[in-house]
A and B are shown apart, each in its own frame.
Chain A
């Protein structure tokens, strides 16, 4: 039996949000109500275990808690209750990942690598590798703010996978690249899985998930509705529509 890579036990994540409709100052001071604060249960009692070499597709409608779950797995959000145990620090790759907009692509690669904890000694070799992998050509010397969404996605994917994470969390980031880059990124993910890595993929494209993943998790309103072989979970998800 292969080793466990992630164990999530009864995970709850709550957010306190401010709604747009706030009451007036006088009313707020008088009643302590109407401050617009609301607690949202983004993840509500989720438990599962994953093993090395597994590719898990996470599906569910918008706002079902998929991205929150991934952020929590990456250690970026503290669980309200419950426990997350991992075999290695997971790396999160999201479309929203922001570095320095004014700096060039190559400088952003250097920064990203340092943020991931790479030492400056190994930096130079790796940066060359990453630049090569992005296939951005001359654009690598242009400021990030001139990049299209697809170009950004290439850059982020290249940075996140450069450290060869044992656990890779991908949030929608693969769907924006072009055909050639999708092919390249799929090859990279397959080599990661072959090296006993674990992949979590959040995507709205069930087609893409079916192609890459072996197992599915279906989240709805923060609850885990289904967990099993990817084909079964997608079939259930599809029936629901």
Chain B
């Protein structure tokens, strides 16, 4: 009845049945290890989510209440008081889509960077593939986004942006978005483990990226003045990822070439991020 791993790829000392615990395994074996602990990766963020609002009166209602209030504030300020449209139809929904989807990206990356330092106790006590730590952070952010998305849907329906066939593509959009976020999270986690100073810098990088991603205002406002800015905006996958959601809900224009580039970029970032993170597997949780 022992629960241990029988599938060790290398057995250095066959006649004695001894093996080394060295984790420098192939990517495939590493992914298999992660898959074996999927229940762990899933329950870690769920437990955190459930205990996060425990000391408030309304408890779990805040998971929905928080994004609802955020969207409400934007609705009041931009929809009622200022009546800003910035040349966009249904600006309030356009804006909250931008804010919440960008928050999913920034939260996953920032959380990934800090997770590797905040989960040291867990990593010092148990042996498991360290990629579980940023992955479970990513799952936690996705769970929080589920509530935010619900709020987006409520506001969209209330303002007449009803469902369409485009909505069936939501899983695909989420998958591409998550690939990018997780890749970025892996990179940030490894960098932050090496230099703790990174954690101080990431919020500024993310804020800069926010302005370059058309979260609060359409990108055509900053495009066309400077070649460098134009190129950065065109190559910025976050802008395009946010636009996927706007296209799905509001029917904004979608550039096929840019979208294809975004898919490629997201997958590349995930692939690179995973390799980059895995190289330093043994170092996490030790300093």
Contacts and interface: CB of A to CB of B under 8 A. Distances in A.
A84 interface: yes
* Residue among A78, A102, A115 with max Cβ neighbours from chain B (10 Å): A115
Contacts of B37: 114-115, 117
Contact of A117 (B36, B123, B282): B36
Q: How large is the interface on A (under 10, 10 to 19, 20 to 34, 35 or more residues)?
A: 35 or more
B1 A164 contact: yes
Contacts, number: 120
Interface majority SS on A: helix, strand, loop or mixed?
loop
Nearest to A94: B125
Interface string A134-157: 000000000100000000000010
Interface in A8-50: none
Interface in A141-182: 143, 156, 163-166
A76 B123 contact: yes
Interface stretch (B12-20, B109-117, B269-277): B12-20
B122 A115 contact: yes
Given A7-B13, A110-B43, A166-B2, A115 B128 contact: yes
Interface stretch (A85-93, A203-211, A219-227, A232-240): A85-93
Interface string B35-60: 01101100110011011101000000
Interface string A97-119: 11110110001001110111111
Interface of A: 3-4, 7, 71, 74-78, 83-89, 92, 94, 96-100, 102-103, 107, 110-112, 114-120, 122-123, 143, 156, 163-166
18 contacts: A3-B16, A3-B17, A76-B127, A76-B286, A83-B20, A85-B13, A85-B16, A86-B19, A88-B2, A96-B121, A98-B120, A102-B52, A103-B47, A110-B43, A115-B40, A116-B126, A119-B39, A164-B2
